[in-house]
Amino acid sequence: MLVGVFTFGQASDKFGRKLAMIATVVVSISFTYASSFSPNYIVYNILRFIVAAAEISTGTIGYVLVLEIVNQKWRLFAAVVSGLYWPFGYMTLAGIAYLIRDWRYLTIAVASINVPYVIYLVLIMPDSPRWKYSQGKNKDGDAIMNKIAKWNNAKLPDVIDINMKENSDAEDPGKKAFFLDLLRTPNIRKNSLIQFYIWFVTSMVYYGLSLGAGSLSGSPYLNYLLNAAVEIPAVILKIPLMWKFGRIWPLGLTMIIGGVALLCVMAVPEGMGSVVIGLSLFGKCMLTMSFGIIYILTCELNPTVVRNVALGSSSMFARAGGICAPLLSLLRDYYIHTPVIVFGAMSVLAGFLTFLLPETLGKRLPETIQDAENYRNQDTIEVEEANASREKKVAIGDDTKLDIKATGFEPNKTINGLAYTNRGFDGDATLL
C-alpha cells in the first residue's frame, strides 16, 4: 500500500485519472485471482503485496476523480456518498468470510465481485475534465463537459473557455508533478507537513483498532462486523457537520474527542470488557469521521497539478501509520493499555495541529501552485463576459477567484445579492 499510493499517484497525474484507475483495478483483480492459487506462503505474500499496492491506489485516484468531476455545490455530498461504500464493503467482507471459511474460495469470491467494475470504468466513467484542462487538453475537456451536460439534461454554452489565471508564476501545463512540489513553498509546506502527520495518526489509530477487533472479547466475526457498522453513522454524521462548520473544526474536534475516549480506557476496571469495547467503538467512530474529513480537506487544499501526488503522498504516510499499528499492539505485553494510550495522545495532538490549516468550506479547488500558496487570500470569483468584452467581479464572501469566459452572459441571476448568469446554460452552472 505504501508503494502503491506513491507510484500510481504519480501515474494518475501524468496519464490521467481514468487510465490509472483502469490499470489499478485490472492489476488488483488479476493478482487477487492468482493469489488464490499460491503454492506457498512466500508466493502468496508477493502476490498480495501487488494487490494491496493496486487496490489502495484505486481508492485514492477514485476519490480525487469524484471531487474533480462535480461542482462546488455537490463536492461534499459526492465525497461523503462515495465514502459510504467503504463500510458497506467492510461489512460485506465479514459476512462472506463467515460463510466461506476456506481462504482460497474466499479470495476468489472477493475478486469476482469486482469484475463488473472494470466494465463500468471502461464504458461509462469519464475522465477528469479538470485534469484535462490543467494539461492543456482543452478539446478533450470540452468533450467530457458536453458528455456530462448531456447526462444531466443540461445545455452548455456554445463556447467554453476555461482559463487558468495567467501570471508569471503560472505552471507549464506540460510540467509533471512531484512530491517535492509539496515542500517548495512555505504555506504549502506547512500545510503538507501537518496533513502528513494527521494522515499518519488517523491511519495508525484506525487500523490499530480495526486489527485489534479480533482480540476483543466475543466472536471475532461479530466484532469485525461492529467495527465496520460503526463507520456508517460516522460517515453520515460528518455531512451536516462539514456543511455547517466547514472542515477544520469537525476534523480537529473529532480527533481530540476520539483521542480522549481512547485515553479513558485506562480508567476501566478489569472484567468490564463491554465498556472497553464501547469506548473503542466510539473512538473508532470519531477517527473514522476524521479519516473522511482529511481525505476531503487534502483534495481541497492542494492544486490540480499536484492533487493526486498530494493525496498519494499523504496516503503514503497513512500506510506508514498502518504499519506501526500492529507493532504498537505488541506493547500490550508490557502494559495492556499502552497501545490505546499512544493512540489517544497522538490523536489529541493531531487535533490541535488541525487548527493551523486554512478552512476550505465554500472555496473553489485551487488549480496552480500559486493558487494553493495564496489560498487564504483568494476571495473573489471573476466572471468575464465574452460578447460584451467586459469583466465583472463577483464577491462571494471570502471565497475564490476563477476566470470563466462564456458567450451570452446575461446578468439576471442573483447570488449573495449580486447578479450573474449565462443564458446559454440550462441549469446550475458548474464552476471548474
Domain ranges for the chain: 2-127+175-354, 137-172+379-419
Per-residue pLDDT of 266-311, as tens digits, reads 777 776 767 877 888 888 889 888 988 998 899 888 887 788 788 8
Collect all residues with Cβ–Cβ distance below 8 Å to 297 and sequence separation of at least 6.
Answer: 195, 247, 248, 251, 357, 360
Instruction: Give yes or no for a contact between 226 and 281, defined as CB atoms under 8 angstroms apart.
Output: yes
pTM to 2 decimals? 0.64
- Segment 218-235 mean pLDDT: 79
Helix (H) or strand (E) holding 157: none
**DSSP-H helix ranges across 36-128:** 41-69, 75-99, 103-113, 115-123
Q: Which region among 35-44, 169-178, 241-250, 353-362 has the lowest average model confidence (pLDDT)?
A: 169-178
Pairing of strands 403-406, 160-163: antiparallel
Grid cell in block for residue 47: 502476490
Residue 332: DSSP 8-state:
G
Alpha-carbon separation of residue 371 from 201, 364, 400 (angstroms): 28, 10, 9
**Residue whose C-alpha cell reads 455545490 in the numeric block:** 73
Strands (E), 314-413: 380-385, 390-395, 403-406
Q: In this structure, what is the dihedral angle of CA atoms 34, 40, 46, 47, given to the nearest 10 degrees? A: 10
Of the chain, the percentage scoring pLDDT greater than 90 comes to 18
Neighbours of 373 (CB within 10 A): 19
Alpha-carbon separation of residue 391 from 323, 380, 388 (angstroms): 53, 13, 9
Q: What is the mean pLDDT of the chain?
A: 76
pLDDT band of residue 177 (cuts 50, 70, 90) is: low
User: Topology of 2-127+175-354 in CATH?
Assistant: Growth Hormone; Chain: A; (1.20.1250)
| Residues forming beta bridges with residue 31, ordered by sequence position | none
Task: Give the span between the Cα atoms of 300 and 68, in whole angstroms.
Answer: 10
Collect all residues with Cβ–Cβ distance below 8 Å to 262 and sequence separation of at least 6.
Answer: 205, 279, 280, 283, 340, 341, 343, 344, 347
Give backbone dihedrals phi and psi of 227, rounded to 5 degrees, phi first: -65, -30
Per-residue pLDDT of 321-354, as tens digits, reads 888 888 887 887 787 778 888 889 999 999 999 9
Confidence at residue 416, expressed as pLDDT on a 0 to 100 scale: 37
**Residue whose C-alpha cell reads 473508532 in the numeric block:** 284
Q: Which residue has the higher pLDDT, 129 or 397?
A: 129
C-alpha radius of gyration, the chain, whole number: 23
Per-residue pLDDT of 14-43, as tens digits, reads 788 888 889 889 999 999 999 999 999 999
